[in-house]
Amino acid sequence: MGCATSLVKYLVFIFNFVFALAGLGLLVIGILLEKQVNEYDEFLNGKFHAPPIILIVVGSLIFIVAFFGCCGAIRESHCMLIMYVILVLTVFILQVVVAGLAFAYRDDTKDVIDSKLKNYVFNYGNNKAIVDSIQTNLKCCGYEGTGDYTSQSVNIPSSCCPKLPTTCARKEAYDEGCKDALEDFIESQGNIIGGVAIGIAVIEIVGIIFGLCLANSIKNAERRGR
């Protein structure tokens, strides 16, 4: 085997090692996101478990595929490398489809969350636990602000204040409403996922190119050896 082929072989191995780490990273992000979704499961009615579960599944697949690619490179197996390229391409297409669906339904998702949040805040007495959890974790108050409580002649909940006092004065309460805070939270999580997905997509494209190059070099070497 020539120097060029050997170089590509080790590049494929290195890229797949990085690919495996990226898969583990995606898996960890998925688990952490699922944990956060579980905190608001009552509020979300179990409708938003799909994104973190998809991340966990894709992260696991990436790790397995990367391991397959490393084995193919070390064993110099043309068949394993072609299978590796097909699997990486499949994962890549899956990511594109999921990203497209997430983008297409993001406004609908935001509308559902906003509507439900407004209903919960304006019926605070029946939804105290979940609203307090949102206000404490996101450091926000009411749907659009403290006025949502004072307009109903309802005391501002202690969860609207930083130190959870027995009574929360309006001047000490969080200024931001939970509508904006929740939208910012969802957007920030989406940006993290999007950034990771783009990084992994770049690694996948490079892996496909090097995988095909190595598979072709191995095939040519086999033909010359006949």
pLDDT of residue 44: 63
C-alpha span between 104 and 97 (Å, rounded):
11
Closest by CA to 58, choosing from 200, 187, 180, 161, is: 200
pLDDT of residue 158: 92
pLDDT of residue 5: 64
pLDDT of residue 45: 59
This prediction's pTM: 0.68
Closest by CA to 133, choosing from 115, 152, 120, is: 120
Closest by CA to 26, choosing from 193, 207, 203, is: 193
pLDDT of residue 225: 60
Which residues in the chain land under pLDDT 50?
Answer: 226
Closest by CA to 174, choosing from 156, 162, 166, is: 162
pLDDT of residue 46: 59
